[in-house]
Chains A and B, each alone.
Chain A
Amino acid sequence: MTAIDPTAHLTAEQIEELGRELDAIRDEVIASRGEKDAAYIRKVISAQRKLELTSRGILLFSFFPPAWLIGTAGLSVAKIMDNMEIGHNILHGQWDWMRDPKIHSTTWEWDHVSPAEQWKHSHNELHHTYTNVIGKDNDLGYGIMRVDEDQKWHPIHLGQPVWNFINACFFEYGIAAYDLELGKNLHKRRRNNPEFRARAKAVGRKIRKQVLKDYVIHPLLSGPSFLTTLAATFTANLIRNLWSHSVIMCGHFPEGVQVFERRSIKGETRGQWYLRQMMGSANISGSKAMHFMTGNLSHQIEHHLFPDLPSNRYAEVAVKVRALFEKYELEYVTGPLPKQVFSAWRKVFRLSLPNKKVKTPEPEKELVAA
């Protein structure tokens, strides 16, 4: 493939200058972080808890169809809030600065089958450091899909639209397996590694607790509504999984997002790291409510530049970041949710076939050797 590097027009000095400008944006937010931000996250946490409690309360009477509908809708939203705006962001350490042990990345646990500790390693350390570097960032297709021309095609990829759909429905289990690096660790040699076994046990415990709560305890508490509550919690988990899968696909898979070669990050400077984050992420445009429900991952570019800034500040940061994209003549990949989801899915379909069979290769989809 011929490399058309969308950052080729930038000199090394310009890239470092860009880095300094981004540092300044970050410093501004940190200097003004305070009481209002703390009040925001506490309000969101409190609202989520009240919503979850109310929804589960309503579901005790889920044999009554309106109660089922309202309860399921409420629980779905509560679970999405828990995972996205609250869990994901707290586990990133976005709220550690408050020094509140109850809202801290080292103590938080979320409504998800992957234990927070393991997710933090694969997500915060691997994905955020090696964003979109082929062979380093396993988020590129989660090890089951081919999402870039430069990933080697294998016949198994023919089925990737199906894998992706199944992964979307049971996304939290996909993440847990991914955090365990099951693909790699199930090999005979590694299977008995005590460290892997301990981690697998922790996942097992977490799954047991989650399943017991959602599919045994709460249905039992509902008495005659046992089956309808079971269906409700299953539906809520499904909705949460489909939603978070869609949001996450929009972050790095839509057309226009760049991937990088392993060797391209050797000796990477601060400015180059920033540039890779800018080119390797895509945003979702939309209303305030939409941003909130994505846990502000709709500001994926800003999140990747500053993973530890409080999520409620990404919207204001985005204005400044976008201005920098314009100043440095870079493409800010963004679009409404349906468009971005479609774009990501189209790529999953297209790349299920080997490269040469692609009739109309997208010109912008090229490898960057920045």
Chain B
Amino acid sequence: MTSAALRSRAWKLLELVTTPLLPSDYLDLVSPLRAGADLRGRIEAVHRETDDAATIVIRPGKGWRGHVAGQYVRIGVDVDGVRLWRAYSVTSPTSRTDGRITITVKAIPDGKVSNHLVRRMKPGTVIQLDQACGEFVLPKAKPAKVLYLTAGSGITPAMGMLRDTEFDDVVMVHSAPRKQDVIFRNDLHDLVADEKLRLVELHTDTDGMLDVTRLEELVPDWAERETWACGPAGLLDAAEEHWARHGVTERLHTERFRPTVVVAGEGGEVTFSTTGKTVAADGATPLLNVGEEAGVLMKSGCRMGICFGCVTPLRSGAVRDLRTGEITEGDTGVLIQTCVSAAAGPCDLER
């Protein structure tokens, strides 16, 4: 018998000992980060970056498979006793050797998780983790010239990339309301001093919002640069249009932190068939929230339509994508993202 088969046999035997619990329920008490456990992480430190942003140092469990520069990680944090999941870009380089990763979080107004992480998180807390994911990453082959076009907390994935890979020619155009709001400002200026980065730092409170057409003067060779853009929807929409107009769309990579929401209508009766609950939902509330309010244990993740942590089978009925207005009809094998889908008539979710 192979050692894997032997181990699975031993584990089965152990399950007979611990039933109705699982052996892992006991192991979790003493070793929540061990190999084979659900992926978790322990917060080891919280470093303040600005008034409302902080870098969180996390030691992931043994099951962590690493990340690619630019990717994000979903974390599940208990805020006021309630587990909430959010996605944050990894800001530490892949070359970090002490087994820790960092995320950098900006507290947004009324943001439950971000405020908790920035202002109240205590080192030693164990949080839930998912493996890193996301397509907003550096390519294997190094481009000759690079541009990072970022604003606000959109700098975080770019910082993950900057720290990870050195390029011969890299420019960053970054906007923040004021000087003191620029996350990683010292790190950026250190890179500038070492001549590893050319930085265009814009303060929108005094300079106004960046008009992308100004790139011609700020970075004259912008169109030749492989560009990674991350920030508010307005900036990304403008960038996509600008790059398209100049026929260089393939050079632009964007990452959206929040869904652009279109106005939806209708709504309807939502049935959660596994739980046996039926509730009325309007056409604007994500089905994820509808389920959670009805006490159904919903899967959730970024809550912005990017991570697919919430996908749930839609057995029947119709839902509307809150970002695009697109209608999806239920059938066997149809999965929907509940965080960006609202009821478009009666529907039946397998949950």
Contacts and interface: CB of A to CB of B under 8 A. Distances in A.
A210 B297 CA distance: 27
Contacts of A34: 80-81
Interface of B: 16-21, 25-26, 29, 78, 80-84, 274-275, 292, 295, 297-298, 300
Given A34-B81, A96-B297, A102-B25, 11 more contacts: A33-B81, A46-B29, A49-B29, A53-B26, A97-B295, A99-B82, A111-B20, A210-B19, A210-B20, A213-B17, A217-B16
Interface residues of A, number: 33
Nearest to A41: B81
A37 B16 contact: no
Contacts of B16: 209, 212-213, 217
A221 interface: yes
Given A96-B297, A104-B297, A38 B20 contact: no
Contacts of B297: 96, 99, 101, 104, 106-107
Contacts of A195: none
Nearest to B28: A102
Contacts, number: 65
A221 B275 CA distance: 39
Contacts of B78: 35, 38, 98, 100
Given A93-B295, A217-B16, A38 B81 contact: yes
A205 to B, nearest CB: 11
**Residue among B20, B78, B81, B82 having the largest count of chain A Cβ atoms under 10 Å:** B81
Contact of B25 (A37, A38, A49): A49
B309 to A, nearest CB: 12
B311 to A, nearest CB: 16
A109 interface: yes
13 contacts: A33-B81, A38-B78, A39-B81, A96-B295, A96-B297, A97-B81, A97-B295, A110-B20, A206-B20, A209-B19, A210-B19, A213-B17, A217-B16
Contacts of B84: 99
Query: Which A-B residue pairs are the 3 nearest by beta carbons?
Result: A38-B81, A109-B20, A34-B80
Nearest to B299: A101
B17 A98 contact: no
Interface in A1-53: 33-39, 46, 49-50, 53
A261 B7 CA distance: 59
B21 A49 contact: yes
Contacts of A93: 295
A99 B275 contact: no
Nearest to B351: A106
